[in-house]
C-alpha cells in the first residue's frame, strides 16, 4: 500500500509547476510559528493559483491514525490559505495520503502545488503612476550571467510592444541580484543593460530608457534568503516609471 501511494504522488509532482513544503512537529496538525511565517513569506501576495495540497506523515504510529493525521494537516493548510489568499486557493484540492515509505521524519509535511498566473504587464504599466516600480515577470537569465534564457523572449518582446504603443512612456530599467551582498561584476547592471539594449536596438529612443544595477542593496526579503521563493523575488529586473506624458 505504501508503494502505491508513492507512485500516486509521482504524477502530481510532475504536473505541478512549483511547490512549497511545510513541515509539522510529531503528531501535530497545526504549523509551528516558524513554518507559518515561511508559508506566508513564500506565497502570500504572489500572483499564483494553488492546485493541490497534499498531507503526509512519517511511519511512526498506526496506519489509520496516520491517514487521518495527514488529512487534518492538509485540511488545516487549506483553511489557512483560504483565510490568507482566498482568490488563489479557492479551487485547490486537498488530500491526506498517510505515511510515506521513506521512514524520514521530514515526511511530516504538507506539499502545496501551485502555478504562476499570467501577468498582464500592459495593464500594470497603464495603471502605474510616476515612480512606481513593476517587476518583469518571466524574465530570466543564465545562472551567474547576463544572458537571457530563450523562455524570456515573450516577456522582453511584450515590454518592447508596450514602449512602441506608448511613445511618451519613459522608464528606468533596474537590475537586482540575490544571495550575496557583493556584486563585484555589476551583474545586476549588466542584466539591466541587456533589457535596455534590446529596446534600443529595436528603435526605442535612448532618451526614453535608462538603466542601473543595484546589486542586492534593495532586497524584497532580507539576506540571506531562507527559501528559493525569496531568492527569486530578490533576483529580478524592474522598470520604474519616469514619465507617461
For the chain, give every domain's residue range: 2-116, 121-243
- Distance separating alpha carbons of residues 48 and 42, to the nearest angstrom: 11
Q: Which three cell numbers stand for residue 114?
A: 501551485
Question: Is the per-residue pLDDT at 63 higher than 80?
Answer: yes
Q: What CATH number labels 2-116?
A: 3.30.1330.60
2-116 and 121-243 have identical folds: yes
Q: Tell me the CA distances in angstroms from 6 to 23, 63, 225, one per residue in order.
A: 18, 15, 31
Rounded to the nearest integer, the mean pLDDT of the chain is 88
Pick the CATH number of 121-243 from 3.30.1330.60, 3.40.50.720, 3.40.250.10, 2.40.50.140: 3.30.1330.60
Q: Identify the H or E element spanning 50.
A: strand 48-57
Rounded CA Rg of the chain: 22
Question: Is the per-residue pLDDT at 84 higher than 60?
Answer: yes
Task: Using pLDDT thresholds of 50, 70 and 90, give the confidence band for residue 55.
Answer: very high
The answer for residues whose C-beta is within 8 angstroms of residue 32's C-beta and 6 or more apart is: 24, 25
Question: Is the per-residue pLDDT at 46 higher than 50?
Answer: yes
Q: What is the mean pLDDT of residues 21-30?
A: 96
Amino acid at each position: 500500500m505504501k508503494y502505491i501511494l508513492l507512485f500516486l504522488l509521482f504524477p502530481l509532482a510532475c504536473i505541478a509547476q512549483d511547490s512549497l513544503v511545510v513541515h509539522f512537529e510529531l503528531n501535530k496538525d497545526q504549523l509551528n510559528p516558524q513554518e507559518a511565517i515561511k508559508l506566508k513569506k513564500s506565497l502570500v501576495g504572489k500572483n499564483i493559483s494553488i492546485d493541490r495540497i497534499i498531507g503526509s506523515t512519517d511511519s511512526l504510529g498506526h496506519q489509520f491514525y496516520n491517514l487521518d493525521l495527514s488529512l487534518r494537516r492538509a485540511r488545516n493548510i487549506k483553511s489557512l490559505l483560504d483565510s490568507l489568499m482566498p482568490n488563489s486557493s479557492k479551487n485547490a484540492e486537498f488530500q491526506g495520503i498517510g505515511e510515506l515509505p521513506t521512514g524520514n521524519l521530514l515526511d511530516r509535511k504538507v506539499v502545496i502545488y501551485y502555478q504562476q498566473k499570467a501577468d498582464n504587464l500592459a495593464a500594470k504599466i497603464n495603471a502605474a503612476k510616476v515612480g512606481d516600480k513593476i517587476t518583469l515577470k518571466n524574465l530570466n537569465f543564465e545562472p551567474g550571467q547576463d544572458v537571457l534564457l530563450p523562455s524570456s523572449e515573450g516577456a522582453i518582446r511584450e515590454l518592447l510592444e508596450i514602449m512602441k504603443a506608448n511613445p511618451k512612456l519613459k522608464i528606468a530599467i533596474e537590475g537586482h541580484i540575490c544571495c550575496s551582498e557583493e556584486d563585484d561584476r555589476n551583474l545586476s547592471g549588466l542584466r539591466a543593460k541587456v533589457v535596455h539594449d534590446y529596446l534600443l536596438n529595436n528603435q526605442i529612443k535612448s532618451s526614453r530608457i535608462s538603466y542601473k544595477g543595484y546589486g542586492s542593496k534593495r532586497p524584497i526579503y532580507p539576506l540571506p534568503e531562507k527559501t528559493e521563493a525569496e531568492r527569486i523575488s530578490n533576483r529580478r529586473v524592474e522598470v520604474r516609471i519616469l514619465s507617461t506624458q
